[in-house]
Amino acid sequence: MTINEYQKLAMTTLNPELSKKDVLINGVMGLCGESGEAIDIVKKHLAQGHELDREHLIKELGDIAWYLAETATALDVDLEEVLTRNIDKLKARYPEGFSTERSINR
């Protein structure tokens, strides 16, 4: 499955009654909510003595992907373009790979 195929399949489960504005709002709120769920799993591992719940964290990453797809859809952009632009930005920032110096002086 390509990332754009994922976006298309994921969006078959989007509520068709939402307006474009509501899709955008739902997307960004969902990204925050699902990221919070992911953070909570790691917090429990780091601060509360839980085993890292890897399976649960993987599921939350999927939920984050769904809301990423929704937000991109609201912006009429496909996920391949979003990811390509991100890689282009990273290549410009770190042409030789990560460096602390370039991270500080960007």
Are 31 and 65 spatial neighbours (Cβ–Cβ below 8 Å)?
A: no
User: Please, are residues 51 and 45 in contact by the beta-carbon 8 Å criterion?
Assistant: yes
x/- letters, 49..78, toward Mg ion (CB under 5 A) = -----------x--x---------------
Sole window of 13-21, 28-36, 43-51, 70-78 interacting with Mg ion (rule: CB under 5 A): 28-36
Minimum CB distance to Mg ion smaller for 65 or for 83: 65
Cβ neighbors of 46 (< 8 A, separation 6 or more) are none
Residues in contact with Mg ion, total (CB under 5 A)?
A: 4
Establish if 40 lies at the interface with Mg ion (CB under 5 A): no
Instruction: Report d(CA 63, CA 61) in Å as an integer.
Output: 5
Which one of 6, 14, 28, 37 is in contact with Mg ion (CB under 5 A)? Answer: 37
